[in-house]
Amino acid sequence: MIPNGTSPHQGVGVRVRGLRKALGGRAVLQDIDLDVHPGETFVIMGPSGSGKTVLLKHIIGLESPDAGEILLDGQPLHAPGLMDRFRLAMVFQSSALLSSITVAENVGLYLAEHRLHSPAEITRIVREKLALVGLADSEDKYPGELSGGMRKRAAIARALVMNPHLILYDEPTSELDPLIALAIADEIRRLQLRLGVTSIVVTHDRDLAFGIADRIAMIHEGRILAVGGPGQIRQSAVPLVQRFLQAEFKEPNLATETTSP
Amino acid sequence: MFQNLGEMLMLLGRTLRMLPQTWGQRRKVMDQLFEIGNASLLMVCVLSLFIGGVLALQTGPVLVDRGLGSVLGGIIGLSMCKELSPVMVAVLIAGRIGSAMAAEIGSMQVYQEIDALRTMNIHPVRYLVLPRLVAICVALPLLVLFSVLVGWTGGLLVSANNPEIALPTEGFLSNLRQSVEIADLANGLLKSIVFAAIIGTVSCHQGLHTIGGPRGIGRSVTKAVVNSIVLILVLDYFLTRVLLYIDL
Ligand SMILES: Nc1ncnc2c1ncn2[C@@H]1O[C@H](COP(=O)(O)OP(=O)(O)OP(=O)(O)O)[C@@H](O)[C@H]1O
Ligand SMILES: [Mg+2]
């Protein structure tokens, strides 16, 4: 395993076929079919509770499907040795940093546990990735001492360190200010251009979605409503998609509200 | 509890198979050892001193009345090292360390930290269970050895100073030396290793199977401690039978 080799097009293709999952007696995913091409940035959008996180967990193998299958470069996810061949990283919605070790140890955990580099080299890589997400001065802090957005950035750094073939981002920018969000979006894009990494990004953030996506899928109540390039999705005829895309915050008309009976 | 027994045995088996990888986790083993020692050494001392003492207090006057005062050293020596130290220390450690293991692993489970480990292809059993199990299996026999020595001291102090017993120190020690053999000590240490494996396995298993939020963690902690203690006491009986049978 060459963790920091710079071979382009290292991304894997993901194929989801007939995926079904019930949780707590409710069908959360219903017949999901998806094809994510190698090296693509694929965005999944959809309302809260529509099953986006559950779908990501299936793709990385944390949940096992009730029906259907997930293939990485044509091979089933649970094929023996697959996890050693492909490096898959996930940025959890809740960050999920280990709370008992420092930020730097969290970010370096993958390299240290798999003994991929010398400690000095790991320190160097960790510094570099932390600087990239703007956390250079927080390496010795514990996750509990960080803000939500800082934790999210540390989690992104932790995923980047793996130099993965596939990165899953669950709401990467939901807690970030616009500037940092932009930096993260740039980084997602750069990873794709430089290394050909496949990225699947779950987000509510329409600017991020249309800014980075090669293709977008809209999911609602566990079903895929529409898949296509940003242009196709914008012009989609599906009403729910249009509602989701056009929701705008309007200045509430206080005058009429207060005078109405 | 008993439907989990199979799962726990599987967890123990999986951990044992990873034993050769312990060297790679040595830093975490050391951390755990330090934590166990730090949290329990003083408590073990106090507990053992008083158990040895009360044992002398209960048996001493009765034996002296019947002119058998000279065997007191042997009685205290044997009962501490074969039974009381291993069981009492194990119960104490189940409450002190087993609970902490279940709580820590349980909160990692609830807050998706274990999921994060999995995505990094880091096996939770190797990363979390192995170092804890190794540490407790090393620490408990050491604590029991310590407890035996302190317990003997407690018995000796009470035997010498209680006016109803008033057994000279030399008499106590010489009888103890005559009665207690290395095999008896090994007997107790062997028990303590089994108890350590029970505490480590039960607590880590409960932690890994925590569901829900903070309340789930609380439930796991309680179950870890109660199940460990029940299993220790039940197994102690059968272990004693076996050890008596093979005459160790
Ligand atoms: N472990 C679980 N047990 C029972 N139900 C679950 C479980 N996990 C998720 N669900 C249900 O599955 C549905 C989809 O959840 P999911 O977390 O995938 O939503 P989401 O699309 O990620 O939403 P959000 O944008 O708010 O993160 C929800 O209705 C949720 O209640
Ligand atoms: Mg979600």
Any domain includes B2: no
CA distance A85 to chain B (A): 11
Nearest ligand (C-alpha, residue A28): 1
Cβ < 6 A, ligand 1 pocket: A 23-24, 28, 46, 48-54, 93
Q: What is the pLDDT of residue A79?
A: 76
Interface test with A, best of B104, B120, B125 (most A CBs within 10 A): B120
Question: Residue A53: in which H helix or E strand, if any?
Answer: helix A52-59
Q: What is the pLDDT of residue A2?
A: 41
- Residue bearing the CA closest to ligand 1, atom 19: A49
Cross-chain Cβ contact B108/A114 below 8 Å: no
All residues of chain B having their beta carbon less than 8 Å from the beta carbon of residue A83 are 121
Pairing mode of beta strands A41-45, A215-220: parallel
DSSP for residue B21: G
Contact between A197 and A10 (Cβ < 8 Å): yes
Q: Which amino acid is at A120?
A: A
Q: pTM for the complete prediction? A: 0.86
Residues 6+ apart with CB under 8 A from A167: A88, A89, A90, A91, A159, A160, A188, A191, A197, A198, A199, A200
| Residues B207 and B101: beta-carbon distance below 8 Å | yes
Residue of B nearest to A60 (CA): B119
Residue B9 lies in a domain: no
From first to last of its 261 residues, chain A has per-residue pLDDT tens of 344 444 455 788 999 999 999 998 889 999 899 999 998 999 999 888 899 999 999 999 898 899 999 998 888 888 777 777 888 999 998 889 999 999 999 999 999 988 888 999 999 999 998 988 888 898 899 999 998 888 888 999 999 899 889 999 999 888 788 887 888 888 788 878 877 889 999 988 888 888 889 999 999 988 998 898 988 888 888 888 888 887 776 666 665 555 544
Partners of B192 in the beta sheet? none
Q: How far is the CA of A93 from the centre of ligand 2 (A)?
A: 6
| Alpha-carbon span B90 to B191, nearest angstrom | 10
Confidence at residue A217, expressed as pLDDT on a 0 to 100 scale: 93
Residue with tokens 């898949």: A227
In a domain, B1, yes or no: no
Which two three-digit tokens encode residue B9? 């045995």
CA of A219 to the centre of ligand 2 (A): 12
**Chain B residues near any Cβ of chain A (below 8 Å):** 24, 104, 107-108, 111-113, 115-122, 127
- Closest C-alpha to ligand 1, atom 25: A48
Establish if B239 belongs to a structural domain.
yes
Establish if B152 belongs to a structural domain: yes
Residue type, B94: A
Q: Quick one: which ligand is closest to A45's CA?
A: 1
The domain total for chain B is 1
Residue A75 has what pLDDT? 86
Residue B144 Cα, gap to closest chain A Cα (Å) = 29
DSSP code per residue over A70-112: EEETTEETTSTTHHHHS-EEEEBTTB---TTS-HHHHHHHHHH
Distance CA A171, CA A221 (A): 18
Give the model confidence (pLDDT) of B179-234 as tens digits. Answer: 888 888 889 999 999 999 999 999 999 999 999 888 999 999 999 999 999 999 99
B24, B115, B121 member nearest A96 (Cβ)? B115
Determine the structural domain holding residue B69 and report its residue range.
27-243
Instruction: Report chain A residues whose CB lies below 8 A from the CB of B116.
Output: 90, 92, 96-98
Residue with CA closest to ligand 1 atom 6: A23
Closest residue on chain B to A168 (Cα): B119
Of A92, A58, A90, which Cα lies nearest the Cα of A77? A58
Interchain pair A92, B112: CB under 8 A:
yes
β-pair partners for A202: A44, A170
Separation CA B153–CA A109 (nearest Å): 47
- The predicted pLDDT at position A33 comes to 92
Compute how many other C-beta atoms are within 10 angstroms of the C-beta atom of residue A255. 8
- Provide φ and ψ at A224, rounded to 5°: -80, 120
A61 contacts on B by Cβ (under 8 Å): 118
- B134 part of a folded domain: yes
Give chain B's residues under pLDDT 70. Answer: 1-2, 247-248
Judged by DSSP in three states, B111 sits in: coil
Residue whose C-alpha is closest to residue B233's, from B193, B196, B195: B195
